[in-house]
Structure 1
């Protein structure tokens, strides 16, 4: 459960946020939602795939961290083993709220990251915003803008029938086997068959680059399986 409250420099003047990464802080998740504007950064580390939205009517892009529910293969004893975090992970425990059309910053007071003595100060002693809080404001704004842009991107993929389901059969060095399913990726043959007009429209909207970032990211499945093998060997 979460307990989001409106952030303010009176009630939360001593608030600090633990920014270390670990399962104890809720980072043991298989994936996080992402959006086209951060694909270029994330494709260097994670497979970017799509899942059906909760209502089943559309698709959502996600960055994969593991091969099964509750697994994050980027977590180590030293933290998160990648130089770039998805913004939906970095923003924790802050959330976007609304007051009419105005965006408001909320904080989940039940998050294990919330502290009164450890971590990054949210406010300065005189009540102003700390550098950390300013960064989180920027992160939340980028998330808001990114999510707004996702619908058009997904609509374009659906218009050109560019999404296909896939499965990954996994055999570990130990002989253990598994299968990843339930996700979607870019249908490369249909992409290659698009005519010049369709490609131009995708390019002008910025969607074509995002599509190729998704395609490039699929090579990171080898990285995930290598990480899974190391984790499996360490647990034996």
Structure 2
């Protein structure tokens, strides 16, 4: 269950956020949504794939953390063992809400918080507000993240539409043999067809480049090298058993 509340410095003046990274805090997930705006940072640590929503049929880019449900191979000693944490994971337990402006009637994005999150505390963690009500540097960082997510959602949809327009997405099966000899498969995800990218016309490349989508494509392709690290992390779990 979630209990979303509009963040404010009166009701939440003593609010603190526990920033440990572990299963208890909800970090034990196989993947999360990611956005082209962060692909350059994401691709260094995680493979970027695409997932098709079974209900809407829409595709979304995701950063992969493990090979099975509820597996995050980057969690270690209450920390996230990577140089970058994707926005959707790092902003937790904050999220974007909308509030109607009384003068203009327009809906504007505002910060909400899930008060039922295990990260929420009045006793330990990172303060959200200063003693006299001002925003902490942490909250300012969260605000920037949420703005990036808000802007990134439409940009991501446009990116996916271009991939579909040029038929660049394809389903794939990743065959994995671990050090203990076990054979594993990763199925149900999509990737960018590199050969089709290389065969694009100059006109198509220019079309993709003008909105920054061509760079995003290359970041996705570059992220495939992170699969080796993910497999090695999986092998390490076998050693530690």
TM-score w.r.t. length of structure 2: 0.95
Match of 2:128 in 1: 122
Gapped regions of structure 1 (runs ≥ 5): none
CA apart distance, 1:57? 2.3
CA apart distance, 1:3? 1.1
Match of 1:186 in 2: 192
Matches within 5 A, 1:52-201: 52-100=52-100, 101-201=107-207
Write the deviation string for residues 104-143 of structure 1: whole angstroms up to 9, x where unpaired: 1111111110010111101111111111111111110011
Match of 1:47 in 2: 47
CA apart distance, 1:56? 3.8
CA apart distance, 1:53? 2.3
Write the deviation string for residues 128-177 of structure 1: whole angstroms up to 9, x where unpaired: 11111111111100110111211110000000000000111111111222
Task: Give the Cα–Cα distance (whole angstroms) in 1 for the partners of residues 110 and 211 of structure 2.
Answer: 29
Match of 2:2 in 1: 2
Task: Give the Cα–Cα distance (whole angstroms) in 2 for the partners of residues 82 and 128 of structure 1.
Answer: 31
Task: Give the Cα–Cα distance (whole angstroms) in 1 for the partners of residues 13 and 191 of structure 2.
Answer: 45
Write the deviation string for residues 204-235 of structure 1: whole angstroms up to 9, x where unpaired: 11000000000010111111110000011211
Count the aligned residue pairs.
235
Task: Give the Cα–Cα distance (whole angstroms) in 2 for the partners of residues 58 and 15 of structure 1.
Answer: 37
Task: Give the Cα–Cα distance (whole angstroms) in 2 for the partners of residues 54 and 8 of structure 1.
Answer: 37
Task: Give the Cα–Cα distance (whole angstroms) in 1 for the partners of residues 157 and 226 of structure 2.
Answer: 25
Matched, 1:36 2:42: no
Gapped regions of structure 2 (runs ≥ 5): 101-106
Task: Give the Cα–Cα distance (whole angstroms) in 2 for the partners of residues 54 and 209 of structure 1.
Answer: 28
CA apart distance, 1:190? 1.0
Match of 2:226 in 1: 220
Match of 1:18 in 2: 18
